[in-house]
Amino acid sequence: MRADRLVAVLLLMQSRGRVTAAELAAELEVSVATARRDLEALAAAGVPVYPQPGRGGGWSLVGGARTDLSGLTEGEAQALFLLAGPAATVSAEARAALRKLVRALPRTFRADAEAATDATVIDPVRWGERDRPRPAVVDLLRTAVIRRREVRLTYAGRAGEPSERLVAPWGLIDKDDTWYLLAGTEQGRRTFRVDRIIQAEPTGRTGERPHGFVLTAAWQEVVEEIERRRSRTWATVLIEERFVPVLRDRFGRHCHPEGEAGQGRVRVRLGAPTPLDIARNLAGWGAMIEVVGPRSVQDELARIGAELLARYAAEPTG
């Protein structure tokens, strides 16, 4: 179970008193079976939740239990709200519960706890990569975000030698296990891939966020700009419907089924930066996929096919 989902389950149960597995599944966008396993795992871990069978039943916290936050250490409070912040986006009730939890903290902890809730955004839509280990520097950067401290980065860009950057960390994004840092620099807001950060060293100086900055809104602006660059070329293809999930896995949000095309096939729109990018991803399908257009993608496929034929065609025998 993801830790952020565990916290979301607890927040929802505290805000509602009683929930069913089906209600949890709808709120957290998981299957009913997954929601039921989460509830059972909480009970097995010692959290006081129990099922009530029969009509009108569900799962409840024993005695309507509430979390007493007065005994938390400062580090424990930050850890809780680092998890709860992204998790509380699932519903208005959960967000209201989170605000109550903040008020329940000792006053000296509240500022950092509130900063922790907006230190990380979880974006589940990947950009063609999966199962990447979390960079070790994430924890250091997250602390810098919460404490509002400048960090000196040694950063390896897409090309060229590593360079030093002095940044004010504004927030971290977990994009399906690929991490990004949004930060302020002398050139304005910049986005850094965390796995390209070679070294990070806090300076001890204050690195404030802009007034009114909202991490989710800023990240959405970044995503929209990157998506525009990633989808400059669109192609229309015909393929058997059963293969659409494979295309969606590769092209992500740039895969748009558009309905039936006859003979058991469907029409799908695919986007990528260039015609060559699309052709490279489709060449291995051979005749299983038909590219209706544009001509530029068809030409790239023909060129790739000619190269393969020239290299691998069998020599004629005498």
pTM of the model: 0.52
The label of the residue with tokens 């068809």 reads 298
201 and 127 in one domain? yes
Tell me whether residue 154 is in a domain. Answer: yes
For residue 292, give the CATH number of its domain: 3.30.70
Tell me whether residue 158 is in a domain. Answer: yes
Compute the distance between CA of residue 98 and CA of residue 103 in angstroms, rounded to an integer: 9
For residue 31, give the CATH number of its domain: 1.10.10
- What average pLDDT does the structure give for the chain? 79
In this prediction, what percent of the chain has a pLDDT beyond 90?
A: 33
183 neighbors 222 (Cβ within 8 angstroms) = no
136 and 195 in one domain? yes
Residue at a domain's end among 168, 185, 214: 214
Tell me whether residue 220 is in a domain. Answer: no
107 and 136 in one domain? no
Tell me whether residue 222 is in a domain. Answer: no
Give pLDDT, residue 97.
57
Residue at a domain's end among 95, 117, 139: 117
Is the pLDDT higher at 154 or at 86?
Answer: 154
Q: What is the pLDDT of residues 13-27, one digit of tens each?
A: 766 778 888 888 888
**Confidence grade of residue 50 (pLDDT, cut at 50, 70, 90):** confident
**Confidence grade of residue 105 (pLDDT, cut at 50, 70, 90):** low
For residue 185, give the CATH number of its domain: 2.30.30.100
**Confidence grade of residue 303 (pLDDT, cut at 50, 70, 90):** very high
Q: Which two tokens stand for residue 43?
A: 């009970």
Q: Which two tokens stand for residue 61?
A: 């916290």
Angle between helices 74-87 and 3-16 (to 10 degrees): 80
Give pLDDT, residue 273.
87
209 and 308 in one domain? no
90 and 113 in one domain? yes
Give the contacts of 235 (CB within 8 A, at least 6 positions apart). Answer: 269, 270, 271, 272, 275, 278, 291, 292, 293, 294, 297
205 and 267 in one domain? no
53 and 150 in one domain? no
Domains in the chain, number: 3
CA angle, 184 as apex, 183 and 185 as ends, to 5°? Answer: 120
33 and 65 in one domain? yes
Tell me whether residue 178 is in a domain. Answer: yes
134 and 191 in one domain? yes
Tell me whether residue 226 is in a domain. Answer: no
**Confidence grade of residue 318 (pLDDT, cut at 50, 70, 90):** low
178 and 110 in one domain? no
Give 253's strand partners: none
**Confidence grade of residue 157 (pLDDT, cut at 50, 70, 90):** confident
Q: Which domain holds residue 48?
A: 3-117
193 and 168 in one domain? yes
